[in-house]
Amino acid sequence: MITTDELSWTDAFLVGFPPMDDTHREFVDIVGAMLQAEDDALLGHLKALITHSEHHFSQEEAWMQKTEFPATECHTNEHAAVLTSMREVATYLEEGGAPSEARRLAVELSRWFPGHTDYLDASLAQWVTKKQLGGVPIVVRRGVANHDESAD
């Protein structure tokens, strides 16, 4: 099993829609803090992550509803599943469960986030920007090779 003990912001996570990018930075910061936290601090970080994610996901879902985003059901179902997992682990810890479960959740979130961002959130960012401004965002990722450069 591959594990990670770190998650930090990189421009590879940018989707080109500033409100979403700002919220994603916060998500990455909280999960990164969970990965580094002492056992007795994990529940506090997890509760902060749940509060953040409730706002984060509802914000994205409001954009989806307002713009009639075609993949709304898929995207919202994924959000719901992630929040359910977070809440279940928080309850488990509150009942005296092993902190290793919160650490395992943080590892899984650090694996989940890049793919979710690359596919569902990037699509939503393009959709919302096109609906609001008539064009898709241009994303400049510092220090990240683009696809053309990596093909050389």
Domain ranges of the chain: 11-151
What's the pLDDT at 140? 63
Question: What is the per-residue pLDDT across 34-52, written as a single tens digit (0 to 9) for each?
Answer: 999 999 999 999 999 999 9
Confidence grade of residue 136 (pLDDT, cut at 50, 70, 90): low
Q: Which pLDDT does position 132 carry in this prediction? A: 80
- Taking CA atoms, 62 is separated from 10, 18, 58, 128, in Å, by 26, 16, 6, 11
What's this model's pTM, rounded to 2 decimal places?
0.86
From residue 91, alpha-carbon distances to 40, 88, 98, 118 in Å are 15, 5, 11, 30
One of 2.120.10.70, 1.20.120.50, 2.30.30.280, 2.60.40.10 is the CATH number of 11-151, namely 1.20.120.50
Mean pLDDT, range 81-103, rounded to an integer: 97
In this predicted structure, the answer to whether residue 108 has a pLDDT above a threshold of 90 is yes
- Does pLDDT of 149 surpass 50? no
Could you tell me if 31 and 46 are in contact, meaning their C-beta atoms sit under 8 angstroms apart? no
